[in-house]
Homo-oligomer: A and B are copies of this chain.
């Protein structure tokens, strides 16, 4: 027999969105149960201990400026952060050559000018997308009927600018420019403050890290919430009656006056709803797939690149690893390189053996950092597409035709069911900050209603 709990609000998913919603609701005097499929909290935040005890992150890990909700949460939870290592020169592997740079990569003036004009043009369009309702943008229909790739081919004149924008798409969306709607790429870029804001380490989305690994945020929140967080209970069905909603999970049935579904849209669409969801909501969740990324942490006795005056950040125009960061702990020992496989590269290396993938990643790192990079003391990776309770990262991207046809269904509650998660945020959509926004929004909506 399944255990039964009865509360004011049932929250599905113990990621940052769900935990934040629960916290707000408790503060508002409501009783809550958080029902989580995994045996842990944190969703797309996941710490991993290397064999020497060093903590690295296998999931989302950074915070940056203008992420005000996260800044407040960090202060509230008394968490410590530290800057992503960025002293020295970056590497650029481009056109078959590897060069070092601080601010401006060593590329031809024509290429740099073309990157500049394309980025400026893209940022200018992005700012014209209303974050609350992208489908109302002047030009929304035209932007949503084409892919980001189509826009790139029309607006980037040089190979370098095309590759730069492709790299931007892969690194920020874990999707190829041809996978997503131009309108979505514009919305998301605006939501995160522009191309530079999303791409940069210092002054950008990758600026700071959490001491102890980013999952501490979720763990600390969950500790404060206590035993209302119920793990190992995958939710299978949600039934609404006139005044109650019943959330049926493996081993647990939770009833409440409201439910908040705080999981990615593609997973929310797999729950059985009774009564069935309206067409707009159901067809939305058919149409917003998760991206493809494998995150690799590669550990060395020391961060040898620092001795060579390098930041550990290397970008490349060829894969499989096109983006790296220094992910060493605050002590600087061991040295850890973070290598991303994104979009097509994640899909391709998601189909080979773990050994083949490791070899391909190390080869690619050696292309940038030399042969020492090919001989780590430890290697760990995670294919988020293979995670049963995520099924892709970083978040959802919207293919053409979805924002303009189904956008309003993204946040619109269905009866007593509210939709949270980083994908539903207006600001910093897809980021921790957006997840927190979504938790606060849904909790506030419920708190504004009379009880039961």
Q: Is the CB of A177 within 8 A of B145?
A: yes
Stretch in A80-88, A271-279, A324-332 touching the partner: A271-279
Residue of chain B at shortest CB distance from A177: B145
Query: Of B149, B150, B178, B272, which contacts A236 at CB under 8 A?
Result: B272
**With A399-B400, A400-B147 in contact, do A391 and B280 touch (Cβ < 8 Å)?**
no
Given contacts A270-B272, A283-B292, A400-B400, 9 further A-B contacts (CB under 8 A): A145-B177, A179-B400, A266-B286, A279-B383, A279-B385, A280-B350, A282-B385, A283-B347, A287-B289
How many monomers of this protein are in the complex?
Answer: 2
Chain B nearest CB from A406 CB (Å) reads 8
**Which partner residue on chain B sits nearest A399 by CB separation?**
B399
As a 0/1 sequence over residues 269 to 313 of chain A, the CB contacts with chain B under 8 angstroms (1 = contact) are 110100010111011001101101000000000000000000000
From A147, A236, A280, A287, residue with most partner B Cβ within 10 Å: A147
The answer to whether A54 has its CB under 8 Å from any CB of chain B is no
Q: Which residue of B lies closest to A141 (CB)?
A: B178
**Contact residue range for chain A?**
35 or more
Q: Write out the residue numbers on chain B whose beta carbons fall within 8 Å of the beta carbon of A280.
A: 347, 350-351
In the complex, what's the smallest C-beta–C-beta distance from A127 to chain B, in angstroms? 23
Give the chain B neighbours of A283 by CB distance below 8 A: 289-290, 292, 347, 385, 391-392
A145 & B147 in contact (Cβ 8 Å cutoff):
yes
The residue in A146, A177, A282, A289 that gathers the most chain B C-beta atoms within 10 A of its C-beta is A289
Interface string of A314-329 (1 = CB under 8 A from B): 0000000000000000
Would B145 and A178 count as touching, CB distance under 8 A? yes
A124 contacts partner chain B, Cβ-Cβ < 8 Å: no
Question: How many whole Å from A97's CB to the nearest CB in chain B?
Answer: 26
Chain A, 133-190, CB within 8 A of any chain B CB = 144-147, 149-150, 175-180
- Chain B residue nearest to A250 (CB atoms) is B272
The residues of B that contact A179 with a CB separation of less than 8 Å are: 399-401, 405
Contact A282 B344 (CB under 8 A): no
| Distance A272 CA – B406 CA, assembled complex (angstroms) | 26
A392 to B284, CA, bound (A): 11
Rounded to whole Å, the gap between the CB of A144 and the closest CB of chain B is 7
